[in-house]
A and B are shown apart, each in its own frame.
Chain A
Amino acid sequence: MLLHGRLSELCIFLQAMFVFACCFSDIESGPIATSGSVQPNGDRFKLEGRAIVPGVKTQDWISSARVTVEGEEYIGFMRTDGSFVVNDVPSGSYVVEVISPGYKFEAVRVDITSKGKMRARLVNFIKTSEVIRQPYPLQLRSSGPHTYFMKRETWGWTDFLMNPMVLMMVLPLLIIVLLPKVVNTNDPEMRKEMEQSMNMLNPNPELPDVSEFMTKLFSGSKSSSNKAVGGSKASGRPAVKRR
């Protein structure tokens, strides 16, 4: 979504560089009488366009759709072929939107000069004077149905297993359970090797091991000491040594 936005922004920027800068002065709305207008109603003009929902028949969506100009200031209805006309619009700048509960349409800003010249451009509320031309008569293409709903979180075994917490719990468990089985501790050679490796881990072999010291100090029985220090990693060693 974010990426898409970025891309479209980039496109807008590129387009903006190529846009022909035409001198459209800021239009003041208000009745200005013109003689040679499109319609007999003096300074009222008509907005035309066409809306398309790809892959959907027009009769399935037009009865619930309508065209709004600047909120509900002017309203137009969809013709049976998906085209629309909004009559009686005075000159000014308007945001034209096709509203349908089922399908998404982009809004377009339409400027009408006092002489009845029309221009359509992208809506940009932040840079209001930026002009990125759109075709006029309007061609509005739906980008698909609205997404109103969120997906429920479904529960699956894979989700459960790939959970980092579960992975963190399961892997050490596997090591604890499986390693003693794989590595035969009764083999004297192996024992020697392990001892060596342990000694290598221990930076100072002369120093008495803390855990060993503690177990000697506190426990009388072997089994309880074994359990008490079971949590720490170094604990495995004294038990092995004792055997």
Chain B
Amino acid sequence: MSKPTSLFVIFFSLFIMSEAVFEDQVGKFDWRQQYVGKTLFAHFDSHSQSSNKLFLATDKNIFASFNSRTGDLLWRHVDKVGPEGTIDILVLHGQDALMVVGGGRLLRSWDTNMGGLNWEAVLDTGSFQAACFVAIQDTVKHVAVLKKAAISLHYLTNGHQKWVENLPDSDTVQYQAVYSGGEVEVYVLGVVPNSHLTIIAYSLEDGEIIKQVTWSVEAPWLSSVESSCVVIGQGVLMCVDPATLALYTLPIQAEEAPQFNQILLQSLDLEVSLGFQPVLVSSQPHPARSPISEFFLQLGPDHHVLLQLNADGYTIAYVTPFFFFFTSFLFPLQACDINLFSADSGRRLLDTTVIFPLDLNGGKPFKLYVHAFLKKDDSVDYRVLVQTQDHALTFIQQPGRVVWTREEALADVVTMEMVDLPLTGTQAELEGEFGKKADGLFPMVLKRLSSQVILLQAWLAHLWKLFYEARKPHGQVKNEVTIETLSRDEFNLQKMMVMVTASGKLFGIDSKSGSILWKHYLENVQPNAVFKLIVQRTTAHFPHPPQCTLLIKDKDTGLASLHVFNPIFGRKSHIAPPALPRPILQSLLLPVIDQDYAKVLLLVDDQYKVTAFPSTKNVLQQLQEMASSIFFYLIRSDQGNLSGFRLRKDLSTERIWEVVLPTEVQKIVAVNGKRPNEHVHSQGRVMGDRSVLYKYLNPNLLAVVTESTDAHPERAFVGVFLVDGVTGRIIHEAVQRKARGPVHFVHSENWVVYEYWNTKSRRNEFSVLELFEGTELYNSTVFSSLDRPHLPQVLQQTYIFPSPITTMEATLTEKGITSRHLLVGLPSGAILSLPKMFLDPRRPEVVTEHSREENLIPYAPEMPIRTEWFINYNQTVARVKGIYTAPSGLESTCLVVAYGLDIYQTRVYPSKQFDVLKDDYDYVLISSVLFALFFATMISKRLAQVKLLNRAWR
């Protein structure tokens, strides 16, 4: 009994060895970039003068703090995805940041210094409308939260509710704003669209409606307080009516029933641009004080006026003292400038103009966050955070210097590909030597010699560069990675990562350093678009440039468009993609290549017609020849329908099979084939008795995962169907009872691994299906779905996994010799590298001689999770959405990119680095041993000579 255990221990230590990261490898070939998403609210820390903190709340339900000097993330709090975590408002007061979360579900107060929570209070149900601080005599003690039907007041120190009051007539009146003027009343403004405005005053002490100040003001022109009104000065509501082009003022805190006072814009000599809706902008510098009485009126896309409300509250003049205000004039040009205006004169301060160039491949700016401060010499300085349409944030300093830029679009990567880098000139020449035909012995020798000379030259140049750089001071050596200097490295470990984000911005990122080499913003991409990235031509076909095609499909209409580009430079290709007038159902990349070495992409529309891209004569001819062997499948998950088609010679299609999974019982959640670039090295497994168990390697196999429509824990189930994509034959079906999704699964080689939630035992379980042909192969030379009479043997085993998972992927290597690992993304942000050996359905319950010889680990119900197997150690990737694996030039090495909120790139060695010297290889030791041996032989030789001589004399 002791023998197997010791064996097991040896196994274990082997795994540990093969998996873990060493501490000195940190940051050597891995990097992480953290993102937060599209900014909704941004605040500068105005608490202290020297502070350089920036607080952001984003559409990804994240509250984050940045260092505004460098743009580095200080801390970040990631809340739940979806409407339950949305941030409705973020307001700052001193060190505290107040946030209403989840459509008025929770009220949170954060300590911005420590990044911890002060308190969290549960709010009454009802959709959130507005929130504001309530101050009495310059000290803020309360916060008021306005809901659709109620208003509540909370203490700032502990979040406890002081009072909550229902709003009268909340079914007809839309309450939209809350205002506190530093007095003992809180005013709530509501509107009945196109009828009248309601103002209610609540007592701060007990929440009672102060009888005298509840009015309804006739306002037939007003539809929304939020969009057309601001509060300025000492409680004056200022509204703009775009129809009559007039301003309306209303004193909120008046003693008797107030009336709107109309001021026509014409009377102020102001004109609105044609078709433009005037917008009011006001500023409240301190929550405890009332807003300043200066305000902006935007009259056109590039026309703003600074106005001031006079003390009597009825007339409007242009001037007054004391505060600074800003605006921006955005030109649809290559640059954008920001000007600082003085409220003193309404004139532009001369030396405060900031002009910054706009990225041609980026979006237009649409929001500015300005941080103004007084310098030591009492002059005004300011910094601006510019948010552009492509979700990028740029922080700009006074003379127009860009301090930092954050590409927040990368927080939502949808799909990605890794493309090999091009060869350098010398490399290409060397490669060319092997490609050309042999033309005699002598020229071949000459060619060889010349290529060796080239190599020597390159090496000398490299040495010279090293020497030259070594003399330079250290700071300057930092060699910038640019597109021009990019070239493939020895083992093809450095690649170009082409990332597609949900906002429609494409990025090209160097996989070694993580620096963004190119970006391209696709405007007019719908927010619900789905993307598919296809590499049509790799870099291997010099002089043809590599070519990628992005299929952008509108989810609702199904209409699609193609964007063809060069993945190395990001430039749009001059090749015109075909027009796609009909909705696209399916796309497939054929191994057929045209005369320019581009793979052919077939697009199937809703009339089952096929469009080929590229569609040259050559391609069409090839397609006609091959038509009878081109099959594809379509999934209609809403109808529970899976059907297979064959291509006809005229590029129309015929249906050859159909599988219906009744939608009343179950719905198709996912369908997955195998990766086309996957290689399987060994056809079978050698068993303990020296016989071979052949794998069932059907390249057309589809794994279809279904979930039951019945969600009851006793009756819920998860189904896995293995369907042949050519014939429609169901090879195997497995049903997991008392289980529900989300199902994550990987389909590779001859196995399918899937994970589901066991509703009975309330745990996550992994199940593995492995398919074998048996001990004899039916047709060992070629696989054909049409000629396989025997169904494969299916083995299955299930294990408990002690954590939920968010995504799963298998490692991939060049030739498939290296053993496989599963990369599992956990909700904690860790990426676990789980050896496939643990998920082997042949793991025996009782250890036998044979199983030991096969290196099978004895079955254990619970799968281990060891922190040493986390490939990203403490560099967690929040909300892992996908893991991309790509083979490198080294068989042992697999490149891994995990993306979600963050992006993490690393390399994994599933079977250790067997084909390259380890990075801790001790050169000093080996050379010292060699030298020692050399000297020892020298000395012993000398000694032996002396001895011989002595003997001869004897």
Contact = CB atoms under 8 A, between A and B. Distances in A.
Interface of A: 28, 39-41, 46, 58-59, 62-64, 66, 68, 70-75, 77-80, 84-85, 87-88, 93, 97, 99, 101-102, 104, 123, 125-126, 128, 146-153, 155
A146 B827 contact: no
B874 A146 contact: yes
Given A84-B117, A152-B920, 13 more contacts: A62-B115, A71-B827, A72-B80, A77-B77, A78-B117, A79-B116, A88-B106, A125-B862, A148-B870, A148-B873, A150-B20, A152-B23, A155-B922
Contacts of B85: 75
B122 A39 contact: yes
B119 A79 contact: yes
Contact of A149 (B20, B80, B806): B20
Interface in B324-382: none
Nearest to B78: A66
B577 interface: no
Contacts of B80: 72-75
Interface of B: 16-17, 20-24, 74-75, 77-81, 84-85, 105-106, 108, 111, 114-120, 122, 124-125, 713, 761-763, 800, 802, 804, 806, 827-829, 861-862, 867-868, 870, 873-876, 920, 922, 925
A97 B804 CA distance: 12
A148 B118 CA distance: 32
A96 B383 CA distance: 43
Contacts of B17: 150
A91 B24 CA distance: 47
B763 A149 contact: no
Given A93-B762, A126-B861, A149-B873, A77 B120 contact: yes
A146 B865 CA distance: 12
A8 B875 CA distance: 30
Contacts of A79: 116-119
B530 to A, nearest CB: 24
Contacts of B873: 148-149
Contact of B23 (A78, A149, A155): A149
B120 A87 contact: yes
B114 A80 contact: yes
B105 A88 contact: yes
A88 B467 CA distance: 64
Nearest to A145: B874
Nearest to A101: B874
A152 B862 contact: no
B874 A102 contact: yes
B874 A148 contact: yes
Nearest to A100: B828
B4 to A, nearest CB: 14
A41 B84 CA distance: 15
Contact of B862 (A78, A87, A126): A126
17 contacts: A58-B116, A59-B116, A63-B74, A68-B827, A70-B804, A72-B81, A77-B117, A79-B118, A79-B119, A87-B106, A88-B105, A99-B827, A101-B874, A102-B874, A152-B24, A152-B920, A155-B922
Contacts of A59: 114-116
Contacts of A70: 804
B22 A80 contact: no
A150 B81 contact: no
Contact of B116 (A74, A80, A126): A80
Contacts of A77: 77, 108, 116-117, 120
Contact of B77 (A40, A66, A104, A125): A66
A74 to B, nearest CB: 7
A63 B117 contact: no
A70 B74 CA distance: 27
Given A41-B122, A125-B763, A101 B829 contact: yes
Contacts of A87: 106, 120, 122
> Which 5 residue pairs across A and B have the least CB separation, nearest first?
A63-B115, A71-B804, A150-B20, A148-B873, A63-B75
Contacts of A41: 122, 125
Nearest to A150: B20
Contacts of B876: 101
B119 to A, nearest CB: 7
Q: Which residue, of A28, A63, A93, has the highest number of chain B Cβ atoms within 10 A?
A: A63
Contacts of A74: 80
A149 B122 CA distance: 41
Nearest to A64: B75
A80 B118 contact: yes
A152 B762 CA distance: 40
Q: Which residue, of A58, A72, A125, A151, has the highest number of chain B Cβ atoms within 10 A?
A: A125
B21 A150 contact: yes
A153 B79 CA distance: 41
Contacts of A150: 16-17, 20-22, 868
A74 B81 CA distance: 10
A87 B79 CA distance: 13
Q: Which residue, of B24, B114, B806, B870, has the highest number of chain A Cβ atoms within 10 A?
A: B114
Given A39-B122, A99-B828, A126-B862, A148 B116 contact: no
A99 B111 CA distance: 20
Contact of B114 (A62, A84, A128): A62
Given A62-B115, A70-B804, A101-B876, A152 B867 contact: no
Contacts of B81: 72
A75 B862 CA distance: 26
A66 B75 CA distance: 12
Contacts of B21: 148-150
A155 B926 CA distance: 12
Q: Which residue, of A71, A93, A99, has the highest number of chain B Cβ atoms within 10 A?
A: A71
A80 B115 CA distance: 8
Contacts of B75: 63-64
Nearest to B21: A149
Given A63-B75, A77-B117, A128 B763 contact: yes
Contacts of A123: 802
Contacts of A40: 122, 124
Nearest to B108: A77
Contacts of B920: 152-153
A234 B768 CA distance: 60
Given A102-B874, A150-B868, A80 B117 contact: yes
Contacts of A58: 114, 116
A28 B712 CA distance: 10
Contacts of A149: 20-23, 868, 873
Contacts of A78: 116-117
Given A75-B85, A78-B117, A128 B122 contact: no
A62 to B, nearest CB: 4
A121 B802 CA distance: 16
A68 to B, nearest CB: 6
Nearest to B801: A125
Nearest to B80: A75
B111 A80 contact: yes
B74 to A, nearest CB: 8
Nearest to B23: A149
Contact of A128 (B24, B762, B925): B762
Contacts of A46: 122
Contact of B761 (A72, A88, A99, A125): A125
Contacts of B122: 39-41, 46, 87-88
Contacts of A128: 761-763
B829 A126 contact: no
Nearest to A79: B117
Contact of A148 (B124, B713, B867): B867
Contacts of A71: 804, 827
B661 to A, nearest CB: 27
Contacts of B800: 125-126
A26 to B, nearest CB: 9
B744 to A, nearest CB: 12
Nearest to A42: B125
Contacts of B114: 58-59, 62-63, 80
Nearest to A86: B120
Nearest to A76: B120
